[in-house]
Structure 1
Amino acid sequence: MKTQIETNGIVTLDPEVSQQMENSPLWNEDLRPTTTEEHSWKGINFAALWVGMCLCIPTYTMASGMISLGMNWYQAIFTIFLGNVIVLIPILLNSHAGTKFGIPYPVFARLWFGSKGAHIPAMARAIVGAGWFGINTWIGAGAIDTLLSASFSFWQSVPFHTAIVFALFWVLNVGIAYKGPEAIKLLSIIAAPILALSAVILLVWAFTSAGGWGPMLSAPSKFSSTGEFLKYFFPSLTGVIAFWATMALNIPDFCRYAKSQKAQAVAQSLSLPFTMGVFSFIGIAVTSTTLVIFGEALWDPVLLLAKFPPFIIFLGTIVIVISSITINVGANVVAPARAVENLYPQRLTFAMGAVITGLFALLMQPWYIMSNFGNYIFGWLGTYGALLGPIDGIAIADYWLVRRRRMALKELYTLDGRYNYTSGFNMNGVYALLIGVAIPILGLFIPSLRFMWDNAWTFGLFISIFAYVYLMRNDKSVLSKEEYEAITVFSDDTPTSSSTSDAGAAIK
């Protein structure tokens, strides 16, 4: 029986099958596969999404920690660019699944963990997303609070002024996220050109005001040997990879709306690594000129902005608010909200998930995570990188190596279907995850294996790939080419309403 339609590499459920699935406890309007009409995101939408998310305070200051460890400017930029090229690979591999089958991340996870087991990777991603939501809300609120203090002398005397700004900014972030992915798409289109123009203006001002790039770009590395450099390079590289390892997992949440594979792949390949590298360079270059202009290195763009007249501070505050909200609702709310929704699709909605994400973010105490650089890059980024690397590996191994890009869409929404495994759990996925996490953790306790923990995301990813492929050999849930063709109607052209009806008639 044919239940799905493949058109130009995009697979959708037959409309009649969709109607039959509406009463399934695994189905709701947010988690169902996208329709042909909903595959509307062009390359510009994905480029805008990444530019809007990359142009943020954490990216601006990312290189500062590496330079404080002893790197020179081009070592720091190389580390950042390489880390983003590496994480781009799993992003593109998982993007293919979201684009082809139009499914969000929690549903994609059902494929490799089972209908109930999917909550494990979905909630793991949700916890990290909620943590990042809190971090970026804290950073944005702190920036606003600092700029208000610089503009209005009375502000610092207001009781609990930081808490007031944080609460209001939290409400604003949750409120926008509440509107869903289409609001995020619109926000990205608006934010990207504003943030890009602001970055260029800042760079031009710094260069012209200082009469050059300043001393920082000519400062040599503090490392006396390659070995000494590599001691700090690999943990920093892992931190850079972990920065977007979250999006490598739930990128199907966005790519399920892609118009084509080419549209999302080309746009993401061009926008992510280059935006991160260029904006990090702007952060270093501007900070270098502040040594000349102000006599001190101002890594925090908020502290730099506070040096300007009130009107410039006002404009800068708007830019920082836009930046913080764009990365927050784009990268940090969608996955947790979907994961919460997936716990009970018949009752919970994306909007409810967004509110729960915001509340959970408060419990994770972002003010502690950001209290010092060690907590941030070695504690926060390094630890969750060790968790998400194996999950990335399992997702890639399942889709590309085990199933070879073939799946039965209907079965993902059926409790007793092909992907239910044993009582809703694919234990092969659970075992592969445990193996991928446990082996790098040995580096915390065995000094000679420390390199595995310093590169936990990478080691975990490859270990879990090998483990999962081995465990899933000859698994009954895998569709053969013949089985896939038996359930799929193939069409070379975008189906019209009449051709869709014809496909439905064929299924009958």
Structure 2
Amino acid sequence: MMPPAPSPDIVYQDTPHDPHLYNADLAPTTPAQRTWTTYNYIALWFSMSMEVTTYMLASSLIAGGMNWKQAIFTILLGNLIVLIPMLLNAHAGTKYGIPFPVFVRASFGTRGANLPAMLRALVACGWFGIQSWLGGQAIAAMLAVLWPATAHMPAVLWASFLGFWLLNMFVVWRGVESIRFLQSFSAPFMLIMSLTLLFWMLHKAGGFGPMLSAPSQFKTTSSFLHFFFPSLTAMVGYWATLSLNIPDFTRYAKNQDAQIVGQVFGLPVAMTLYSFIGIACTSASVTIFGEPIWSPITLLGKFHQPFAAMLALVALLVATLNVNIGANVVSPSNDFSNLAPRLISFRTGGLITGFLGLAMMPWKLMATFGSYIFGWLIGYSGLLGPVAGIMVADYFFIRGTRLDVVSLYHRDGPYEYTRGINPRAIVALAIGVIVALIGLVIPALRFLYDYAWFVGFFIAAATYYVLMLQYTSTPQTTSNHLSSV
């Protein structure tokens, strides 16, 4: 019979631990640190949703040929789907107060956890670079409003990009609590500013009728579905990163209800609301300018009212800073720290994230809406979907939500497996990734790539579950492994 799960109120910092697996940033949160309420999680999702890449995610569907109703449906469905693994993986963070790189040790092993953590971290580095590039574009656009001659100076854009990158690094140095402070106050501000932009475009277009009049470009159901399913995968892939490392945030929740209610309301409502703004403004750009403009920065550059453009660009900068720190720094900083807890702190991990973000050349990832949707989003969803499937299968179906938290910070315990690596998780991950991405090299199997996140999630989860059932059913592992979970 399994023992009861450890109480989350235990102060694990007072328990002996392996210094190779532990530091203050990776330690379980104490009751005093669990201060996040439902409002904080709603604010988290509103602040992370209301930013440039969400707008461009929605506007790319219009640029790709959808009408506004088709685009809204695709976005809402995708976010309701990704909410499921989001809530499932959030549970352990709240129950045990552990971050993602520690949680994933249960399935991949104390050393093997570095593999999924690094996959997640590298994707976050790419996003960090993208957000920094967009923030730099916004600053350059603001300068062009004040001094039009700078619009034709590439050096201004690159200086703006590097300046915004340095601003992000400064906020990282201030620590995680500065994120909660920034998000709590910026979410209402961003909502007001986004609605202001929407109504300004509404006025320019001459009403909602002309604003949303752009018809679907798909003449047949088959042509629509050919674009719809990859787009749905991209919608899920957009938050595939957070669906893994959501414990990094829910470990600060007062209780499960606070994070569940906050996320169930915050994620779909915030994404649908802000996506509608992007969809409506892009659709209106067809009426006003004769072409769909998927980048809000480019759109604002066409306005001739300096004050309105400046105000909107400031709003974009605040939102971009929020989401870059909250979504793209917290997780990889913890992940890099997990590699060498004694040497890499949260701050050092944040600096590593920033430099890798530069190295991934974000200006190429955001060159067109096609490279954004069908290259970047779907591509990395095939890497992260399998990790999510393994985590869910392990925590809920193998362990029944029971973890030995103290052993997560020790070698030679139930999560040691084979020299700290669970080969069954590695095999399941490899199979999931290969099947999800094989369509990139075999045209006849392209449909697997179009569903990359879904294919990877379910293939990896099923493979892991079967392999772990065989592992835990052997006499030498039953008493050593399951008795501790």
TM-score range (shorter-chain normalised) is over 0.9
Q: How many equivalent residue pairs? A: 477
Q: Which moved more, 1:232-241 or 1:159-168?
A: 159-168
Q: Give per-residue Cα distances to partners, 1:307-366, cap 9 Å, x unaligned.
A: 143333332232111011011001111111111111111121000000110001111011
CA shift for structure 1 position 3? 11
What CA deviation, in whole Å up to 9, does each residue of 1:411-442 have, x standing for no partner? 00011221111111011110110111122233
- TM-score w.r.t. the length of structure 1 is 0.89
Partner amino acid for 1:386?
G
Structure 2 residue 131 is the aligned partner of structure 1 residue 141:
no
Picking from 351, 369, 374, the partner of 1:378 is: 374
Q: Which structure 1 residue ranges, 5 or more long, are not aligned?
A: 485-508
Q: Given the alignment of the two structures, is residue 362 of structure 1 paired with residue 372 of structure 2, yes or no?
A: no
2:222 match: secondary structure = helix
Aligned equivalents of 2:111, 2:483: Cα separation in 1: 28
1:233 counterpart = 2:231: no
Change in CA separation of 1:478 and 1:324 when aligned onto 2, cut-off 3 Å: farther
User: Hey, what does 1:84 align to over in structure 2?
Assistant: 79
Q: What CA distance in whole angstroms lies between the structure 1 residues aligned with 2:329 and 2:401? A: 28
Aligned to 1:155: 150
Quick check: 1:64 aligned with 2:59? yes
Structure 2 distance, partners of 1:478, 1:364, is 46
**2:75 counterpart of 1:104:** no
1:335 aligns with 2:316: no
Matched, 1:414 2:410: yes
1:352 matched residue in structure 2: 348
Say whether residues 1:129 and 2:124 are aligned partners.
yes
Partner of 1:21: 16
Q: 1:211, 1:377 → 2: CA distance? A: 31
Q: Would you say the 8 A contact 1:418–1:477 is kept in 2? A: no
- Would the aligned equivalents of 2:381 and 2:452 in 1 still touch at CA under 8 Å? yes
Q: Which runs of 4+ in 1 moved over 6 A?
A: 477-482
User: Which residue number in structure 1 is paired with residue 44 of structure 2?
Assistant: 49
Structure 2 counterpart of 1:193, which letter? P
Question: Which whole-Å CA distance do the structure 2 matches of 1:112 and 1:364 have between them?
Answer: 29
SS at match of 1:60: helix
Tell me the distance in 2 between the aligned counterparts of 1:223 and 1:267.
37
Q: Distance in 2 between matches of 1:221 and 1:315?
A: 32
Alpha-carbon offset, residue 242 of structure 1:
0.7
Q: Which residue of 2 aligns with 1:249?
A: 244
Secondary structure, aligned partner of 2:29: coil
Cα 1:393–1:37 change in 2 (3 A) is same
Moved more, 243-252 or 171-180: 171-180
- Secondary structure of the equivalent of 1:422? coil
1:210 corresponds, among 205, 218, 223, to 205
Please say if 1:199 is aligned against 2:194.
yes
Cα deviation, residue 457, structure 1: 0.3
**What are structure 2's unaligned runs of at least 5 residues?**
none
Q: What are the superposed Cα offsets for residues 456-487 of structure 1, whole Å, 9 maximum, x if unpaired?
A: 10011011111111111152389999766xxx
Indicate the SS of the match to 1:218: coil
What corresponds to 1:438 in structure 2?
434
Residues 1:64 and 1:34: Cα distance change in structure 2 (over 3 Å): same
Residues 1:389 and 2:379 aligned together: no
Are 1:130 and 1:361, in contact at CA under 8 Å, matched by a contact in 2?
yes
Change over 3 Å in CA distance of 1:91–1:158 after alignment to 2: same
Query: Aligned equivalents of 1:286 and 1:98: distance in 2?
Result: 38
**Distance in 2 separating the partners of 1:220 and 1:305:** 23
Q: Residue 270 of structure 2: SS of its match in structure 1?
A: helix
Q: Give the CA RMSD over aligned residues.
A: 2.2
For normalisation by structure 2, the TM-score amounts to: 0.93
Q: 1:466 aligns with which of 449, 462, 468?
A: 462
Aligned to 2:320: 324
1:402 alignment partner AA? I
Q: Does the CA contact (< 8 Å) of 1:43 and 1:267 recur in 2?
A: yes
Separation (CA, whole Å) in 2 of partners of 1:325 and 1:87: 24
Identity %: 45
User: For residue 447 of structure 2, what is the aligned residue in structure 1?
Assistant: 451
| Paired position in structure 2 for 1:219 | 214
**SS of residue in 2 equivalent to 1:37:** helix
Instruction: Say which is worse superposed, 249-258 or 475-484, in terms of deviation.
Output: 475-484
TM superposition shift of 1:372? 1.8
Query: Partner letter of residue 106 of structure 1?
Result: P
